[in-house]
């Protein structure tokens, strides 16, 4: 009896761990989907282990509900069943726990297979949740006096509700998490796609734009972003664009500076720190093979208050020396490049940031993940 209690505690413990991981992933999924976060997930460790890239993939949802939400709801039901068994000794609750734990294992096998076969990035927290689910299953299996999947008899009907209630709870959770504003966006996606299809193509020269993702030859979809590192909407768009490109190997992202700062953008009257931020990232890209790291860092951190802070931030991420960065930022060539990119934006009709073009056509709502996914389907 004492041994069974220990096994039950261990099963609850590992189920709680998997719930916590899946709940966090669900929150970050909604942040990415609604464009409400300016920073990436804490489990974005590298290009290979990148939770946001997995979340932005077409395999991250089932029936338009995040897989992590399905998992979190299932773990909640499992915890309740285990607690009922712990305090009442109900064999039926334990049997239903085993059924649900077995379904969890099947889901892990399916999602693990999808990850290995179809995805180019891995979600560390997903993998940890799989391990926790496996341990939970092992301990629940050890609790069984007799393994049985006979859960349809009348004594099990009340516990069957914990299984049948998972889709209902997942739907309600998803509906509450998205909110009215997202539902309004969904209604407008078709209009955005229609506008994009009918938009004229624009000539967009490279002008030393920072690139990320597929090569020009392999890109079926090229996303062009005009943005300001000091723009809060651009900060929210950055993780969306980065994750979308990372999760789609045939998509290329080109970043053009459009600082809302008259010091390097003649179409803007006011001045600020945006030009220094743009120059520091441009120089980090020019002087180092890790230029994109400086680009990401500038969006993810608090706004540098001075030229020196911009240099320090880019230097820490790219490895370029402070002396080289400072010299590059003062160079006439750097000033002219930023001005040319800003001028190009003005000529293309850019009036605010971020402004997104896809395959040389203006895309309204292009900073939102659902819009990008729909355009991608349209192109393919």
**Residue 321 CB partners (closer than 8 Å, separation 6+):** 315
Q: Is the separation of the CB atoms in 361 and 196 below 8 Å?
A: yes
Go through the chain and tell me how many residues it has: 380
Q: Quick count: other Cβ atoms within 10 Å of Cβ 216? A: 10
Q: Is the separation of the CB atoms in 165 and 100 below 8 Å?
A: no
Q: What is the DSSP string of 311-378?
A: HHHHHHHH---HHHHHHHHHSHHHHHHHHHHHHHHHHTT--SSSEEEETTEE-TTTTSHHHHHHHHHH
- Domain 210-379 in CATH: superfamily? Glutaredoxin (3.40.30.10)
Query: Quick one: which H or E segment has residue 141?
Result: helix 124-143
Three-state secondary-structure class, residue 293: helix
User: Which of 33, 329, 272 is closest to 174 using CA atoms?
Assistant: 33
| pTM for the full predicted model | 0.90
Here the tokens at position 50 are 């990148």
- pLDDT below 70 — which residues of the chain? 1, 148-155, 305
Angle 83-85-87 from CA coordinates, rounded to 5°: 70
Q: What pairs with residue 357 in β-bridges?
A: 224, 362
User: What is the structure's pLDDT at 115?
Assistant: 95
Three-state secondary-structure class, residue 62: strand
CA distance linking residue 56 with residue 183, whole number of Å: 18
Query: Quick one: which H or E segment has residue 39?
Result: none
**β-bridge pairing 361-362 and 251-257:** unpaired
User: Which of 261, 199, 271, 206 is closest to 228 using CA atoms?
Assistant: 261
CA distance linking residue 275 with residue 192, whole number of Å: 31
User: Which of 229, 200, 181 is closest to 35 using CA atoms?
Assistant: 181
User: What is the structure's pLDDT at 342?
Assistant: 98
Residue 356, CA distances (Å) to 39, 254, 283, 362 in order: 20, 10, 23, 6
Q: What is the DSSP string of 212-278?
A: EES-TTT-SEEEEEEE-TT-HHHHHHHHHHHHHHHH-TTEEEEEEE--S-TTT-TT-----SHHHHH
Fold of 2-179: de novo design (two linked rop proteins) (1.20.1440)
User: What is the structure's pLDDT at 155?
Assistant: 66
> Which conformational region is residue 61 in: left (phi greater than 0), alpha (psi within -120 to 50 degrees), or beta?
beta
**Residue 119 CB partners (closer than 8 Å, separation 6+):** 53, 54, 57, 59, 247
> What are the extents of the domains in the chain?
2-179, 210-379
């Amino acid at each position: 009896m004492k041994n069974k209690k220990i096994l039950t505690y261990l099963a609850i413990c590992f189920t709680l761990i998997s719930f916590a991981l899946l709940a966090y992933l669900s929150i970050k999924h909604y942040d990415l989907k609604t464009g409400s976060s300016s920073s990436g997930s804490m489990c974005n460790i590298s290009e290979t282990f990148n939770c946001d890239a997995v979340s932005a993939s077409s395999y991250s949802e089932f029936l338009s509900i995040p897989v992590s939400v399905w998992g979190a709801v299932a773990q909640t039901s499992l915890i309740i069943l285990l607690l009922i068994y712990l305090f009442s000794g109900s064999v039926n609750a334990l049997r239903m726990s085993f059924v649900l734990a077995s379904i969890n294992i099947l889901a892990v096998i399916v999602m693990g297979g999808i990850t290995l076969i179809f995805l180019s990035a891995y979600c560390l927290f997903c993998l940890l949740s799989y391990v926790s689910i496996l341990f939970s299953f092992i301990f629940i299996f050890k609790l069984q006096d007799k393994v049985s999947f006979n859960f349809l008899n009348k004594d099990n009907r009340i516990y069957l509700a914990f299984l049948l209630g998972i889709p209902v709870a997942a739907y309600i959770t998803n509906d509450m998490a998205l909110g009215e504003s997202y539902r309004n966006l969904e209604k407008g996606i078709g209009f955005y796609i229609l506008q994009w299809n009918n938009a004229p193509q624009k000539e967009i020269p490279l002008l030393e734009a920072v690139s990320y993702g597929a090569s020009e030859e392999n890109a079926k979809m090229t996303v062009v972003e005009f943005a300001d590192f000091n723009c809060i909407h651009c900060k929210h768009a950055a993780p969306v664009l980065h994750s979308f490109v990372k999760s789609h190997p045939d998509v290329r992202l080109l970043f053009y500076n459009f600082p809302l700062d008259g010091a390097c953008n003649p179409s803007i009257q006011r001045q600020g720190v945006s030009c220094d931020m743009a120059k520091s990232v441009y120089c980090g890209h020019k002087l180092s093979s890790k230029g994109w790291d400086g680009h990401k860092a500038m969006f993810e951190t608090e706004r540098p208050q001075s030229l020196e802070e911009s240099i320090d931030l880019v230097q820490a991420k790219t490895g370029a020396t402070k002396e080289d960065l400072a010299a590059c930022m003062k160079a006439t060539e750097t000033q002219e490049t930023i001005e040319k990119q800003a001028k190009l934006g003005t000529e293309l009709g850019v009036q605010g940031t971020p402004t997104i073009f896809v395959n040389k056509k203006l895309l309204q709502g292009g900073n939102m993940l659902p819009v990008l996914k729909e355009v991608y389907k349209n192109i393919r």
